[in-house]
Amino acid sequence: MMLYQTPQWRSLSTKLLMLTIAWLLLAMTSIGYTLVLSWKLEGGAAAINDAGSLRMRSYHIALQVSEGAPLTAIHDEEQQFATILARLKKGDPARPLFLPDNAAVHQQVALIEQAWRQDMQPLLENAARQAGQPRKMERPDIASFVNRIDRLVKLVEEDNARNTTLLRFFQMALIAMAIVGSFSMMFLLFLLVIRPLNALGEGMLRLRDGQLDARVGVDSSEEFASIATGFNQMADRLQDLYTTLEQKVADKTRSVEEKNRQLAALYNVTAFLHGSHTLDNMCSGFISRLIELTGADAGSVRLVDFKRGRLELIAQQGLPLDMLEHDDCAPIDGCLCGDAVQQPVSVIHRFDQLPKLEEKHCQRAGFASISVFHIRHNQNNVGIFTLYFYQQPQLTAQDQFLLETLGSHLGVAVENQRLAARDRQFAVAEERNLMAQGLHDSIAQSLSFLNLQVQMLEAALADKQTEQAEENLACIRAGVQECYEDVRELLLNFRTRINKEDFADAVRTLLDRFEKQARVPTQLSLSGNGLALDPQQQLQVIFILQEALSNVRKHAHARRVMVEIRNDADFCMLIRDDGCGFDEDLVASRRSSHVGLSIMQERAARIHGQISVQAHSDGGTEVSLLLPHTERQAA
């Protein structure tokens, strides 16, 4: 709603501005007239003063002439009189000095000037002719001339009196204007500002006290109309809000309950998907929860196989037996479910709105509509899940968005299961490879040796070499015993299970078993308080220690073995023996055939560790494993 816009020429600011300008012009005019009158009075007073000076000099000249004053003195007086008369006639704005702008005054000045030339100057000339005579002259009669000067003074005084009266009038007018202007301004402020503000204040107080029907009268001739209109609009809005507050609260409550329902459903389904389930159980639990959430009558989960062009049914609930026996949705292009695979968004089919060219199997089963949603992982289609309804569903846009989100969560869970299965297969393959290498390095070589001894035994028996046959039997007996010990060691190694709490105990158990089997004493040193190894790192470290001890038992002929483990920022494990050592050049040339060393290298590479094997000059061998701190993490 638009606020009322006051016309510019009728606005309060324009009114106040015009009134202020009018009052200011009137005041400035009055002040101007007052200044002009004051200026005229000052000029008239100066003119009266000079006129009085003319009168005084007239008497002074007459006195000098009668007393026979020197001619130069008379001429000086004449010159000063003429100067004053000329200044009086012309005026002097700088003083100021001027005669009133009055015809009678100017006429009187002209008469004085004429009398000066005709009466006074002849007297002076006569006095100049009689200069030097010893007798005294008679005093000239200048009364008529002085009367003319007095008449001029009187005219100027009368003009000043009139100006004085006008000045007082304007002063009184200024006083009256100040009083009237003050009261007028107070009245206008009350009428145009204070009264509308009081009305607004009263309306606000009524509104504050709960009277939502409080309104303020709108005067369209001033700015307060906009404020009053805005106040009325605010009151209307508040009244409308108060009237519909209960409905709005109910709507908001329903909205919040719906969001809570969606969040609860999202949490319930995602918590279930993150549990440990088989693929069938996970999909069955997923579709049963969606049926409960949406009120669907049936549901199914199908995973897509693009290579075979099929949709594999993984789980279903509520589908008729006939639909399961004749699975028309198995081919990707076999039904509406397959058609939705290539669609970018979910698809809802209402059978009453489809062309009746071919009746679908789900329509024949009595369903009125189906809703097909994608199961996606990283924008890739993993499969679809379908909800079946005997009645038309009431799925809102929020419900569809929630179902699409849940489909993405199911896609992640399915992909995680596939990745976990591949990881398990890969781990099994790797362990089988290591087992094969271990068997090849131990039992296979022993069996090869036994095979050779059996052949030699057969040859000795054929040649009836009894001594050779007994020697071969002794070697076969020792080889069988060694094979047994190798098999037992491998079985014990494969059964080793540890966690990060009993890593030290697992090391001690391994060393105790080695002492019993090889009858060689060991010494263990554990130090450091670094970060614990994660389970994968611990398992590989144990296997490396087992392989090193197995090599000591088979090849070193050692009398003592020392194991040192330092768990600082870097993890370091050293295995030293005092046996016969080995030829490093020979081992380097046959490294590919030494499966034990290769196994330790592969296990160290799994945890990004570094392993080295060195022979000491004084005998014995040292195996060193280093796991840098950059490869360690909190488990």
Q: Please give the structure tokens belonging to residue 237.
A: 């809005």
Residue 319, token pair as written in the block: 């589908």
Taking domain 498-635, whether its CATH number is 3.40.640.10 is answered by no
Neighbours of 147 (CB within 10 A): 12
Q: Where are the domains of the chain?
A: 8-199, 276-395, 416-495, 498-635
Average per-residue pLDDT in the chain? 78
- pLDDT at res. 584: 65
Q: Give the tens place of pLDDT for each residue, 419-450.
A: 877 777 776 676 676 666 656 555 665 676 67
At residue 68, does pLDDT exceed 80? Answer: no
Give yes or no for residue 341 having a pLDDT over 60: yes
**pLDDT band, very low/low/confident/very high, at 596 (cuts 50, 70, 90):** low
Structure tokens at 607: 């945890």
CB under 8 Å to 373, separation ≥6 — which residues?
Answer: 346, 384, 385, 386, 387, 400, 403, 404, 407
276-395 and 498-635 have identical folds: no
Phi and psi based region of residue 479 (left: phi greater than 0; alpha: psi -120 to 50; beta: remaining): alpha
Q: pLDDT (tens digit, 9 = 90+) per residue, 491-537?
A: 665 555 555 447 888 888 888 888 887 788 999 999 988 888 887 88
Residue 525: the pLDDT is 92
Q: In this predicted structure, what is the pLDDT of residue 624?
A: 93
Q: Mind listing the pLDDT tens digit for each residue in 354-393?
A: 666 566 777 777 788 888 888 888 878 888 888 888 887 7
Give the relative orientation of helices 71-90 and 12-66 as an angle to the nearest 10 degrees. 160
Mean pLDDT value across residues 594-605: 76
Structure tokens that stand for 600 in this block:
């330790």
Confidence of residue 575 (pLDDT cuts 50, 70, 90): very high
Tell me the one-letter amino acid at 32: G
Identify the band that residue 598 occupies on the pLDDT scale cut at 50, 70 and 90: confident
124-138, 351-365, 544-558: range with lowest mean pLDDT: 124-138
Q: Supply the pLDDT for residue 135.
A: 42
Asked if the model's pLDDT at residue 188 lies above 60, the reply is: yes
What is the 3-state composition of the chain as percent helix, strand, coil, each rounded to the nearest 5? 65, 10, 25
The H-assigned helical ranges of 519-623 are 535-551, 584-589, 595-606
What the block records as the tokens of 61 is 């000249």
pLDDT digit string, tens, across residues 234-261: 777 777 777 777 787 888 888 788 778 7
Q: What is the H or E stretch that residue 295 is in?
A: none
592 pLDDT more than 80:
no
Whether the Cβ atoms of residue 38 and residue 167 lie closer than 8 Å to each other: yes
**What angle, 0 to 180 degrees and rounded to 10, lies between the N-to-C axes of helices 143-189 and 103-115?**
160
For the whole model, what pTM was predicted?
Answer: 0.44
Confidence of residue 574 (pLDDT cuts 50, 70, 90): very high
Band (pLDDT 50/70/90 cuts) for residue 562 is very high
CATH superfamily of 276-395: GAF domain (3.30.450.40)
pLDDT at 221: 53
